[in-house]
Chains A and B, each alone.
Chain A
Amino acid sequence: MLAWDLADLRLQLPILACVLILQGAGFVLGIGLFFRNIPLSAATFVVTGIPVVNLITAGLIFEPQIVADQRAAGSYDFLQSMPAPRSMSAMAWYTVALITALPAVVLTLVAGVARYDLHLDITPAIVPAVLAVSLTGVLMGYAVAHAITIPMITRLVSVSLIFVIFGFSPVMFPAGQLPGWLAQVNRWLPFGPMATVMRSALVTGMTAGVGRAYLALAAWAVLSGLIASLAVGHRR
């Protein structure tokens, strides 16, 4: 399935990898323009939050749109009929999402550190953090892609998720800058915990509740996996 995905998307994947780099580095450089003098804490939050966006865009945003296109084109049923376990299809996508996102994560961090003169303390926890954030994003994307059968709704959900992640989640700014009710809602959503997990592996002293964040990600991954397995295992 991995070979299939890589061959099927051979034209789109390099473009997606470039888009992720431009999106991440562009955002990191652009956000500084909003401040006359950007505070160091704000710059650190943005630079350590944007890798989350890099990591989950392929799985959570791009994958549902590909599946929506497959449904619209009629190739979805053909792919589902292949003699390969459907769980392997999700794992293949996980690999593709990681391969696509990792260059963007590295280059975005380099651009952010150079632009704002930051110092990062990268610990070995970066490995489980990257794997957990990407896996949760892929499984959530997989659930959205397979549980929603109307392509237009799938596209609407994935576009809305971009807005939610960039604008209404404590990923690139502290939860304290959101209204109280929205900060409370975000305690139960996966995007804040994703940022906590990543940030804790990149800088020291800016995060609390890392254990709870990993648990939240595990819960979202399991829930999404269940929804996806029910959707793809369901006989029509």
Chain B
Amino acid sequence: MADAGGPAGSYLAALPSSIRRGPDHWLASYLAMLRFDIASQRTWLPMFILTQVLFGTGMAIIYGFYIGPGMSPEVALFIVSGAPALAAITAALIGVTSMVTERKLAGTWDFIWSLPAPRSAAVASTFTVYTAMTIPGIVATLALAAWRYGLHLSVSPMAVPAFILASVMVTSAGFAMALAIRDPLVTNVIVNALIFVVLLFSPVVYPITQLPGWLAAVHRVLPIYYLAQVLRASVTTGLVHNVTASYAVLAAWTVAAWVATTWVIGHRR
């Protein structure tokens, strides 16, 4: 080129001659984005944990007020073992979706996509931070609710995969939903409707047999029931049967959320 020796040419020559790729680059980008996510969300993350603990524990206490003094130990156990699912779902529906929406409104996603890091590394980092922040909420809610009702839970080693899968699933689903829906107002309406459905019309703190047949059938497709089952199975004995199917459905929803996220972030405007 005629101007290859000029100022522009020397600038271009200083740039890397090949596109960086490969596992090492991905890992380095992931770690850098992890630092970015933690630093940019540091004031919000404690609030995120507090909100989910207050919500999960608060709802467990409130359900007890409604059911009243005739509550059987089995009903109390259902409420306590369902409370962490409420905390996790709240974390995703309120915490993750508002983080994604705020970044959307502020143009932060455009900035993040422009960084010299693979988009998958950026998303994986956000998933990691919010999954890690959801687990303490699940544990704290479970402990507080058990203390409130004076129950002893039988925590099994399966609590580890259960808590991790539950957290990954809710984070992924909340993230994918908020990112895929263009209008923040629509996201807000869906989030509020879902909170209402989760709190009243979902078999989280009561058995699915108490739902009308058609609503039970809907919940056998949605992930809410399976999330509660997986968490309940890890801290109780004899209440949950066929937990493997619940793990499979949750894993399928997680993968579906990842596919949706991949499609949205890979889509050029």
* A interface with B by C-beta (< 8 Å): 23, 26-27, 30-31, 33-36, 39, 42, 46, 163, 166-168, 172-174, 176-178
Chain A residues whose CB sits within 8 angstroms of the CB of B196 once the complex forms: 23, 26
- B65–A173 contact, CB under 8 A? yes
Can you give 17 contacting A-B residue pairs, CB < 8 Å?
A23-B196, A26-B196, A27-B200, A34-B63, A34-B66, A34-B67, A34-B205, A34-B210, A36-B210, A42-B66, A163-B58, A166-B62, A168-B62, A168-B65, A173-B68, A177-B69, A178-B65
The 3 closest A-B pairs by CB, nearest first: A30-B200, A167-B62, A177-B68
- A33–B210 contact, CB under 8 A? yes
Q: Does B26 contact A (CB under 8 A)?
A: no
Q: Does B265 contact A (CB under 8 A)?
A: no
Chain B residues whose CB sits within 8 angstroms of the CB of A173 once the complex forms: 65-66, 68
Which applies to chain B's interface (DSSP): helix, strand, loop or mixed? helix
Which applies to chain A's interface (DSSP): helix, strand, loop or mixed? helix
Within 8 A of A (CB), among B62-79: 62-63, 65-70
- A26–B65 contact, CB under 8 A? no
* B interface with A by C-beta (< 8 Å): 58-59, 61-63, 65-70, 196, 199-201, 205-206, 210-211
Complex formed: what's the CA distance from A36 to B205 in Å?
Answer: 12
- B200–A26 contact, CB under 8 A? yes
Complex formed: what's the CA distance from A166 to B67 in Å?
Answer: 14
Complex formed: what's the CA distance from A180 to B172 in Å?
Answer: 42
Complex formed: what's the CA distance from A65 to B235 in Å?
Answer: 41
Shortest CB-to-CB span from A32 to chain B, Å, is 9
Complex formed: what's the CA distance from A176 to B211 in Å?
Answer: 28
Sample of 16 further A-B pairs with CB below 8 A, known A31-B66, A35-B67, A177-B65:
A26-B196, A26-B201, A30-B200, A33-B210, A34-B67, A35-B210, A42-B68, A167-B58, A167-B59, A167-B61, A167-B65, A168-B62, A168-B65, A173-B65, A174-B68, A176-B69
Complex formed: what's the CA distance from A27 to B196 in Å?
Answer: 9
Among A26, A27, A31, A33, contact of B211 (Cβ-Cβ < 8 Å): A33
- B201–A33 contact, CB under 8 A? yes
Complex formed: what's the CA distance from A46 to B68 in Å?
Answer: 13
Shortest CB-to-CB span from B152 to chain A, Å, is 22
Shortest CB-to-CB span from B151 to chain A, Å, is 17
Complex formed: what's the CA distance from A173 to B69 in Å?
Answer: 11
Complex formed: what's the CA distance from A113 to B210 in Å?
Answer: 20
Complex formed: what's the CA distance from A34 to B196 in Å?
Answer: 14
Complex formed: what's the CA distance from A172 to B200 in Å?
Answer: 15
- A33–B65 contact, CB under 8 A? no
- A33–B200 contact, CB under 8 A? yes
Chain A residues whose CB sits within 8 angstroms of the CB of B62 once the complex forms: 166-168
Chain B residues whose CB sits within 8 angstroms of the CB of A30 once the complex forms: 199-201
Shortest CB-to-CB span from B193 to chain A, Å, is 9
Shortest CB-to-CB span from A41 to chain B, Å, is 9
